[in-house]
Structure 1
Amino acid sequence: MVVSASHYASKAGLEILKKGGNAVDAAVAVQFALAVVYPNAGNLGGGGFMVYRAAGGETASLDFREKAAAAAHKDMYLDSLANPIVEKSLYGHLAAGVPGSVAGMETAHKRFGKLPWSELLKPAISLATEGFQVTSRQAAELNGQAYRFHRHNALGTALLKGSGSWKEGDLLVQEDLAATLRHIAERGAAGFYEGPVAALIIEEMQRGGGIISAADLKAYRAVWRQPVTGTYRGLKIITMPPPSSGGIALLQLLQSVEPYPLQRLGFNSDSTVQLMVEAERRVYADRAAHLGDPDYHPVPQKQLLAAGYNKQRMSGFDWSKAGSSAAIAAGLAAPAEHEETTHFSIVDRAGNAVSITTTLNGSYGSHVVVKGAGFLLNNEMDDFSVKPGAPNMYGLVGGAANAIAPGKRMLSSMTPTIVEKDGKLFMVLGTPGGSTIITSVFQTILNVVDFGMGMQAAVNARKIHHQWLPDEVFLEKGAVDSTARQRLTQKGYRFTERGAIGRVDAILKTKWGYYEAGADPRGDDAAAGW
């Protein structure tokens, strides 16, 4: 089974599984297909994280997060008065970190793949060459971003309609991207980080005042890291370590609520919502103070996940009133993260499972398409603390643990996760959503484990989100009924309705041994099973 943000990508993964490929082979096909059919987050010019579990129980996690270029420095987005220049880290060439996705896919394939590398890129090459039909959602997004594409791509891009506006069913053909994919199919990661494609990236950097160099590209490596593991109600949780903050925060949240009878309290009752909010308040305060790239900052992982730590953190919790984020403060708040990421989950016939979350950061990243190469560059540099101690455009303040440094990986909330039950595969899940990723994965697990939902129902269920600062409870419309909301408001909680929270794509192994998909209806997401 494959669940992803696009039916084209899910079909590409399924084709590989039918040819005898394993979950990692299918993941490579899905990643490259998403770079073609889901350009706002699928990518060659971004990065991400993978959590893997072999059918026999072996686990691994791969960090292919982008890195700051060697010429990057902590003051690069400040003006002469040391004030942040917001646009510089959000749009254009200077916003891009060194991409990691292509290296990540090659690294994963070399260790776990089965089919020939070139075979895995055929679906993506076909989609780029022959084109695909854009959905109504994609047409609206491309039209809405047209002015930025014009601004940052003076030489044009396939993402701009020649005349008029994009409409549902229009064919998007990307010949330059197809050429890049052919180079990668022939030479692996070297077809991207060296040779003609690398030369096009450097030309683009020089044209737009970017700082990524040929040496930066050639030096990039994906890194195998030890997965973060923990338990929840007898289940084993396998998730991503730093520089993702997601895995540690997810386990902290689960530890925080485990002592309480959630099943009896009920799905999104006032008591359950209060409990989740108070856990999230404490965990996001810790995240802000303590998490960053472990190669540059000592992350106190053992202390944060030590038995009793999160129970002690919840000891000040008072059922009669709302907690105060000012009183909980553990440090400086982390910068806000963009929500346009994408996730896919895959299980093959043998039971090998892959959970991958990947991103350009903002929707369509930096909006810079590498001329002649056809792919978008990320704007991940905005995920660093642009100026530690100063508020960013969202009024949030970043800590020194996540300050810009040459070669450093920026902090992320991406939380690809695999869950075991009785030593066997139980669930594969993850989501886009910036800072809401962690709480979306958290609630989806609770929905299945505590509230007895199937996978699709758990994904569909309306969500809430609290991230310590601002001290508000964000919720999807209808997530909390009027009675529960009134009771919580009387206790001092403040609610803000917002649009969709997360886009979870997940797989559940049922008690009958079948796989059940959860493809999020908040997007054009689709499952493909066989």
Structure 2
Amino acid sequence: MQDPFHVMDFHSRRSPVLGTRGMVASSQPLASEAGMRILQQGGNAADAAVAMAAALNVTEPCSTGIGGDAFALFYSASTREVTAMLGNGRSPAGLTMEAVRAQGIKGHELPADSALCVTVPGAAALWEDTVKSFGTLSLEQVLQPAIELAEQGFPVSPVTAYHWEISAPQLRGPGKAAFLTPDGRAPAAGEIQRNPDLAATFRSLAKDGALEGFYKGRIAAAIVEVLKRERGVMMADDLAHHRTVTTRPIHTSYRGHTIYEVPPPTQGIAALMALNSLELEEQLDSMPWGSAEHMHAAIESMRLGFVDALQYNADPEVVPVPTDDLLSKEYAKRRRAELFRPNKAARVTPGNPIPEATAAAAPSEARRSSDTVQFCVVDGHGNGCSFINSNYLGFGSGIVPEGCGFTLQNRGHGFILDPKHPNCLGPRKWPYHTIIPGLATDPEGNLFCTFGVMGAFQQPQGHMQVISNMLDFGLEPQTALDAPRFSLYGVDSAEGPSTVLESIVLLEEGFSEEAVEGLQKRGHTVHSNVRGHDRAVFGRGQIIKRDPKTGVLWGGSEPRADGQVLGW
């Protein structure tokens, strides 16, 4: 008999979850419980978000962990301001083209399993800094639920078990047994899994803080040692050099609301440019949802956003990124007037947001779609936190430092091996980043929602689609997430803006034959009826919406994952 967890058909429905005193949403029910526990102990949205980040490291290590990067957007109810926290680590100082070529690596990108792909993990510092900057509890209190899960064990969820099994061959290093059963396989759905090494890492972080408890001392030494064994170049000083960056998010307006994203080198700018274009479709709310007319307008807007993002987005400390010009409403109007046709897919090419702009070559990024976690919290005071954490590809590099209980990310796979390229591999440099949390405020500046849809290049596409679902079609959060999605498949920053023109449109199961035929008549190459675990290509998201008048919270959790919303 076929394993029902591997079939992954969709037969049930979810209602939105409502509450007033606080709400959490994540891809793992036990992580959501950890966040809710922190809220009920007096913590706020920042505290609960970090508690869920740590718990997700325990329960979904094939997607996320303290060995990876993270970003957060925090809305303060008292100041009505949104802050971006950037937890993306830089490459080692010894990561040079000479070091790469000395290992016989050729081509335009690093092999995903190379230890040279390991950049400094930024999550640990971001967790601590988020709690210090905005939280009300100690880091020790915040990490306690995750420590208990790691020490006492937890039952593995079905969708996670599927992806854990697929990614398990990545694992290597002296500590890989922490992620496998005693007989050396990935745990099955319902099996109890423990990770005491990870609990010890969390205890070090809680006791000594991120700098002394992670980026220096025992854990740092274990990272350096295992990477040296695997022919990596990271040294102790690379780890000790890391710091979280706190800055202002980028944003645009959409139907009177303000949509926030983290700035370059992330691809949040692609979502905002797409929304700027879609907002110019004045008849959108009168189109039947999911019709060919609706989908064409959304797809073309996303293609316009992507083609410029892939041309200009890179590390802003290395390449001047014309962010303000790309996000201007005037530029969106010009681009749409030049290229959008209601009955024909355009031959999209990069634009020129400023006359003197010089186009940057497109940075590299992997093509997988489901190796990240995005989660949200809104507390009873109206503070909101949208948080995202990732290993990059599955278990990342698959390299496990001895006695630490986590894998190291392979975010350096996002570099390109071209000395003339602005995103060329180099020392102490940020790679191009796909992961993006999202947050929106209403026309009066109140928190509207925390949201996100993870999944490589699906992320800006998912952001645009769920925001449009809510603001154009009035869908509540759960229905906005349940709705079938499209994905521009084949978009690839390693190859550049031309991949937008070459991409095909994937349509999830649920779109009508009329919509499929209508898109094909407009010149789109369409692959429809995507179902089962293949739905991972459409990303996995969470949304919590807040009514500013009543304080009622409405939450939705991704049906394509194991997730859950908890309201209080």
Please report the TM-score for the alignment, with normalisation by the length of structure 1.
Answer: 0.92
* 282-291 vs 160-169, greater mean Cα deviation: 160-169
- For 1:308, give the aligned amino acid: E
**Contiguous gaps of at least 5 residues in structure 2:** 1-22, 353-358, 492-496
Aligned to 1:474: 505
- Of all paired residues, the percent bearing the same amino acid is 31
2:390 is aligned with 1:359: yes
2:521 is aligned with 1:521: no
SS in 2 for 1:419: strand
Aligned to 1:504: 541
- For 1:160, give the aligned amino acid: L
2:305 is aligned with 1:267: no
- CA deviation profile, 1:448-498 (whole Å, cap 9, x unmatched): 010111100001111112346152333233353211221221222101345
Aligned to 1:432: 454
Aligned to 1:375: 406
- CA deviation profile, 1:427-466 (whole Å, cap 9, x unmatched): 1101211011001011000000101111000011111123
Query: How far has the Cα of 1:78 moved from its partner?
Result: 5.1
1:528–1:74 Cα change, 3 Å? farther
- For 2:523, give the aligned amino acid: G
2:52 is aligned with 1:30: yes
- CA deviation profile, 1:370-429 (whole Å, cap 9, x unmatched): 11111110010111224478xxxxxxxxxx232222111111232211111132111110
Aligned to 2:157: 135
Q: Is the 8 A contact 1:47 1:359 kept in 2?
A: yes
1:77–1:526 Cα change, 3 Å? farther
SS in 2 for 1:439: helix
* 74-83 vs 62-71, greater mean Cα deviation: 74-83
- CA deviation profile, 1:120-168 (whole Å, cap 9, x unmatched): 111111111111111233333333333332xx23564221222274322
Q: Is the 8 A contact 2:93 2:427 kept in 1?
A: yes
- For 2:434, give the aligned amino acid: S
2:96 is aligned with 1:73: yes
Q: Is the 8 A contact 1:204 1:370 kept in 2?
A: yes
- For 2:415, give the aligned amino acid: F
Aligned to 2:179: 159
User: What is the CA–CA distance in structure 2 between the aligned matches of 1:302 and 1:143, rounded to whole Å?
Assistant: 43
Between Structure 1 and Structure 2, how many residues are aligned? 516
**Contiguous gaps of at least 5 residues in structure 1:** 390-399
* 122-131 vs 479-488, greater mean Cα deviation: 479-488
User: What is the CA–CA distance in structure 2 between the aligned matches of 1:258 and 1:162, rounded to whole Å?
Assistant: 54
User: What is the CA–CA distance in structure 2 between the aligned matches of 1:159 and 1:92, rounded to whole Å?
Assistant: 20
Q: Is the 8 A contact 1:97 1:380 kept in 2?
A: yes
- CA deviation profile, 1:347-370 (whole Å, cap 9, x unmatched): 111111001111110011111111
* 115-124 vs 160-169, greater mean Cα deviation: 160-169
- For 2:181, give the aligned amino acid: K
Aligned to 1:179: 200
SS in 2 for 1:161: coil
1:413–1:154 Cα change, 3 Å? closer
1:325–1:479 Cα change, 3 Å? farther
- For 2:377, give the aligned amino acid: I
Q: Is the 8 A contact 1:289 1:401 kept in 2?
A: no
Q: Which of 346, 350, 353 is the equivalent residue of 1:323?
A: 346
User: What is the CA–CA distance in structure 2 between the aligned matches of 1:490 and 1:139, rounded to whole Å?
Assistant: 40
Query: How far has the Cα of 1:523 moved from its partner?
Result: 0.6
- For 1:529, give the aligned amino acid: G
User: What is the CA–CA distance in structure 2 between the aligned matches of 1:50 and 1:439, rounded to whole Å?
Assistant: 19
- For 1:419, give the aligned amino acid: A
Q: Is the 8 A contact 2:174 2:400 kept in 1?
A: no
User: What is the CA–CA distance in structure 1 between the aligned matches of 2:189 and 2:103, rounded to whole Å?
Assistant: 46
CA RMSD after TM alignment: 2.2
User: What is the CA–CA distance in structure 2 between the aligned matches of 1:183 and 1:327, rounded to whole Å?
Assistant: 48
User: What is the CA–CA distance in structure 1 between the aligned matches of 2:425 and 2:520, rounded to whole Å?
Assistant: 40
1:263–1:15 Cα change, 3 Å? same
User: What is the CA–CA distance in structure 2 between the aligned matches of 1:145 and 1:443, rounded to whole Å?
Assistant: 29
2:498 is aligned with 1:489: no
1:266–1:76 Cα change, 3 Å? farther
Query: How far has the Cα of 1:74 moved from its partner?
Result: 4.3
Q: Which of 268, 275, 279 is the equivalent residue of 2:301?
A: 279
- For 2:41, give the aligned amino acid: K
Query: How far has the Cα of 1:89 moved from its partner?
Result: 3.4
Aligned to 1:347: 378
User: What is the CA–CA distance in structure 1 between the aligned matches of 2:148 and 2:28, rounded to whole Å?
Assistant: 15
| 1:50-449 correspondence runs (5 A) | 50-56=72-78, 57-74=80-97, 77=100, 83-84=106-107, 88-149=110-171, 152-153=172-173, 156-163=176-183, 165=185, 166-189=187-210, 190-246=212-268, 248-260=269-281, 261-315=283-337, 316-325=339-348, 332-337=361-366, 338-339=368-369, 340-387=371-418, 400-421=421-442, 422-449=444-471
